[in-house]
Amino acid sequence: MEQLLKSMTGFGRHEVVCGDRKVCVELKSVNHRYLDLSIKMPKKFNEYESFIRSTLKEYINRGKVDVYLTYEDHSLETVRPQYNQNMAKAYMDIFRQMEEEFELKNDITVSRLASLPEVLTMEQVEANEEVLKGMIEEAVRQAAEKFIQTRIVEGEKLKVDLIAKLDKMLEWVAEIEKRSPEVVAEYRQRITDKVKELLGDNTIDENRILTEVTIFSDKICVDEETVRLKAHIETMRDSLIQGGSVGRNLDFIAQEMNREANTTLSKSNDVETSNIAILLKTEVEKVREQIQNIE
């Protein structure tokens, strides 16, 4: 079943507003061998980190992903005063003791008592946990959906470009295969001409020439390399079309393609074949570089 190819470069952002509260989640990623999630958010949301990670793993397989979660609360009930009755009673007990001990008038007032340390404190009003978790989940999932869409768009562009490169590589391999027998034939002709030049009209030992040509042919033969190279190119092409999380597999295939291209170049004893092999090797390197950004 054909699936969509994804790049490891992506971006997604989504805001969820509920009354005077707003949760915003933003995702950014670059290529990475494995999945590396880095989550930055207010400390009071640390309890949701495991939940956020497990949710994102439903959408993302590979890549270094930076996750930014921000929270805003503009309601009037974000903080409220808290009366510490025990602390107020402790103060009053001390004032009464001082009144009796020093025979002083106790002139403490409510406003004075309330201004003393720890009698009145301002406490943060916590949002409903279930509502807040629901807001976070919706923001994470919607941001992930948008994030995946940007990866798909980039991935499809990569696929088109890579398939074009692979098709060109197949053409170059075909040229090398076509050129191989021509190189052998040219070598045979050069040997024959050289022997004729040296021996004049004397009889030419065809068996000796055939032996030399066979040795030369074996030395420069790249039939196995071109067959394997074509197979790797076709496999990579099929994997790109099939799509899905194929990045690691494609990277392995690209390494094998590079090995065959190097061997073909090292065996070449012909300028035209060498030039084609250089083009082939250069294109393989470009393909390997692009594949690093496929999930």
State the number of CA atoms in the 13 A half-sphere of 153 facing the CB.
9
Surface-to-core class of residue 223, CB atoms within 10 Å of its CB (0-12 exposed, 13-18 middle, 19+ buried): exposed
- Give the mean model confidence (pLDDT) for residues 81-93: 89
Average the pLDDT over each of 29-43, 75-89, 189-203, 250-264 and give the range with the smallest value. 189-203
What pLDDT does residue 102 have? Answer: 87
The tokens describing 239, both together, are 């994997």
Residue 52 has pLDDT above 60, yes or no: yes
Q: Is 172 left (phi over 0), alpha (psi -120 to 50) or beta?
A: alpha
Amino acid (1-letter code) at residue 41: M
What pLDDT does residue 122 have? Answer: 74
The sheet carrying 10-18 orders its strands as 10-18, 21-30, 63-73, 35-40
List pLDDT tens digits, range 209-243.
566 656 655 565 677 788 889 999 999 999 999 98
Q: What is the DSSP string of 45-112?
A: GGGGHHHHHHHHTTT-SSEEEEEEEEEEE--TTSEEEEE-HHHHHHHHHHHHHHHHHHT------HHH
What pLDDT does residue 124 have? Answer: 66
What pLDDT does residue 225 have? Answer: 83
Amino acid (1-letter code) at residue 80: R
- Give the mean model confidence (pLDDT) for residues 19-42: 94
What pLDDT does residue 163 have? Answer: 96
* Among 96-105, 122-131, 173-182, 259-268, the range of highest mean pLDDT: 96-105
What pLDDT does residue 3 have? Answer: 78
List pLDDT tens digits, range 89-144.
999 999 899 988 888 888 888 988 888 898 888 776 565 678 889 999 999 999 99
The more confident residue out of 100 and 153 is 153
- Cα–Cα distance, 251 to 236 (Å, whole number): 9
Q: Spell out the domains of the chain, with CATH numbers in brackets.
A: 10-76+127-152 (3.30.230.70), 79-124 (no CATH), 156-291 (1.20.120)
Residue 280 has pLDDT above 70, yes or no: yes
Give residue 190's Cα distance to chain centre.
54
Does residue 214 contact residue 188 with C-beta atoms inside 8 Å?
Answer: no
Residue 187 has pLDDT above 60, yes or no: no
Residue 21 has pLDDT above 70, yes or no: yes
What pLDDT does residue 22 have? Answer: 94
Place of tokens 């053409």: 171
Q: At what angle do helices 129-199 and 206-220 cross, to 10 degrees?
A: 160
List pLDDT tens digits, range 5-15.
999 999 999 99
- Cα–Cα distance, 83 to 64 (Å, whole number): 48
Return the H-helix or E-strand segment holding 250. helix 247-267
Does residue 155 contact residue 4 with C-beta atoms inside 8 Å?
Answer: yes
Surface-to-core class of residue 282, CB atoms within 10 Å of its CB (0-12 exposed, 13-18 middle, 19+ buried): exposed
Please state, rounded to an integer, the average pLDDT across all residues of the chain. 85
